[in-house]
Amino acid sequence: MSDTPYYQRHIFFCLNERTNGENCCAHHGAQQAFERCKSLVKKQGLAGPGKVRVNKAGCLDRCAGGPIAVVYPEGTWYTYVDEADIDEIVESHLKNGQVVERLRTPPELGR
Ligand code: FES
């Protein structure tokens, strides 16, 4: 069996929505960010086996740092704000393997 991972990088976006008034990523543009990331990855030919996969996720339990995305295999947590942040994550991390330091979720932020 090969140790080569099926995807080189895998990014998960929390799209969780709460209707009870509590904070959640869906109230901070998570769906739009997910869609932008997915379409950029596709447009740049980065999508597919051996390359990059963009997935939806439920609550990743770090809501205080939301909106949240996490990239594996590095296990890098991101707190993004706008489209430019998503573009930078795609270009720098998903494409070139360079973590975007300025967007890392502060380690103390959990739920
Ligand atoms: S609602 Fe997004 S991490 Fe919990």
Q: Which atom of ligand 1 is nearest to the CA of 14?
A: 2
CATH of the domain at 23: 3.40.30.10
81 neighbors 89 (Cβ within 8 angstroms): no
DSSP letter string, 29-86 = THHHHHHHHHHHHHHTT-BSTTSEEEEEES--S-GGG-SEEEEETTTEEEE--SHHHH
In which element (H, E) is residue 88 found? helix 83-88
Q: Pick from 24, 34, 56, 70 the residue to mutate for probing ligand 1's pocket: most ligand atoms within 8 Å of its CB.
A: 24
Q: pLDDT tier at 3 (50, 70, 90 boundaries)? A: confident
Whether residue 46 lies inside any domain: the answer is yes
Whether residue 110 lies inside any domain: the answer is no
Q: Summarize pLDDT for 37-70 with one digit per residue, the tens.
A: 999 999 999 999 999 999 999 999 999 999 999 9
Q: Please state the domain count of the chain.
A: 1
Q: What is the pTM of this model?
A: 0.95
Which is higher by pLDDT, 86 or 4? 86
Whether residue 39 lies inside any domain: the answer is yes
Q: Pick from 25, 55, 78, 105 the residue to mutate for probing ligand 1's pocket: most ligand atoms within 8 Å of its CB.
A: 25
In short, whether 68's Cβ falls inside 6 Å of ligand 1 is yes
pLDDT at 5 over 80: yes
Residue 48 is part of which domain span? 9-65+74-103
pLDDT at 1 over 80: no
Q: Spell out a b/e string for 32-62, using b for 16 or more CB atoms within 10 Å of the CB, else e.
A: ebbebbbebbeeeebbeeebbbbeebebbeb
In short, whether 52's Cβ falls inside 6 Å of ligand 1 is no
